[in-house]
Amino acid sequence: MKPANGKLGVMIVGLGAVSTTFITGVLMARKGLAKPVGAMTQYDKIRVGRGAEKKYLKYADIISLASLDDLVFGAWDVYPANAFESAVDAEVLRAKDILPVEDELKAIRPLPAAFDKRYASRLDGNNVKNCATRWEMVEVLREDIRRFKADNGCDRIVVLWAASTEIYVPIDETVHYRLADLEAAMKANDTERVAPSMCYAYAALAEGAPFVMGAPNTTVDIPAMWELAEKTHMPIAGKDFKTGQTLVKSGFAPIIGTRCLGLNGWF
């Protein structure tokens, strides 16, 4: 594994409650104003060795990881509000958590999003790209990544999806099984079987950036995306960040099933 040297650009799709809480937490922690409780790479330890040789080490003591000081944040969002405005509007964090990093948050302004309202009908923002095809979406997103990397002097980039969950896209073997078929569908502007999130994932991998899916979309579940990941030697990960109610549901669901309890609704 190569050493994690230089700046790491963290480009996040969606600048809402999840993203601004994450960003604010990192900014506060690196100022020494908060502890990164809950962050596995910062706080957690794992056992190494056996018996008398057994010891517990932090992740960064075992593998090379980027320092919090080396993270540079960017985002795409359908709304033009900066990270400070979004954090205040989300009402997740208290003023005492946000105000100490107000200037840093205000400096994070979202790029126009690659967006299709049919996939997230409750969003009405106008900070969106005007692309004729899904392939054009990919090309514009790739340019965004290249420009962000150059403008911020980043050595590498990772792209995270923290936007709203899209409508369900069934996996279709005529489009999603082979990379060539997925690319053809993008160029043909197949808007029913190519979700915007697939364009973000494709753009990230094509630019040498790992892609993490933080929603239960089928984006990285398709063989065509696995093929692109193998071709570019880039990792893909994630199915849902489980940052809120989904984490609670994941805990309660086995209990309900084990006790054979009836359930009238799950919202």
d(CA 191, CA 206): 20
Q: How far apart (Å, rounded) are the C-alpha atoms in residues 244 and 18?
A: 9
Q: Count the neighbouring beta carbons within 10 Å of the beta carbon of residue 207.
A: 20
pTM above 0.95, yes or no: no
Just give the CATH number of 7-258: 3.40.50.720
Walk along the chain (267 residues) and give the pLDDT tens digit of each residue: 788 899 999 999 999 999 999 999 999 999 999 988 888 888 888 888 888 888 899 888 888 999 999 999 999 999 999 999 999 999 999 999 999 999 999 999 999 999 999 999 999 999 999 999 999 999 999 999 999 999 999 999 999 999 999 999 999 999 999 999 999 999 999 999 999 999 999 999 999 999 999 999 999 999 999 999 999 999 999 987 766 666 677 777 778 777 777 777 665
| Crossing angle between the packed helical segments 179-187 and 223-232, to the nearest 10 degrees | 100
Encode burial over 79-94: b for 16+ CB neighbours within 10 A, e otherwise: bebbbbbbbbebebbe
Per the CB < 8 A criterion, the answer to whether 211 and 234 are in contact is: yes
Bridge pairing between strands 154-161 and 71-77: unpaired
* Sequence ranges of the domains in the chain: 7-258
Placement of tokens 């309202």 in the chain: 117
CB 203 within 8 A of CB 142: yes
User: Tens of pLDDT along 12-52?
Assistant: 999 999 999 999 999 999 999 998 888 888 888 888 888 88
| pLDDT tens column, 143-157 | 999 999 999 999 999
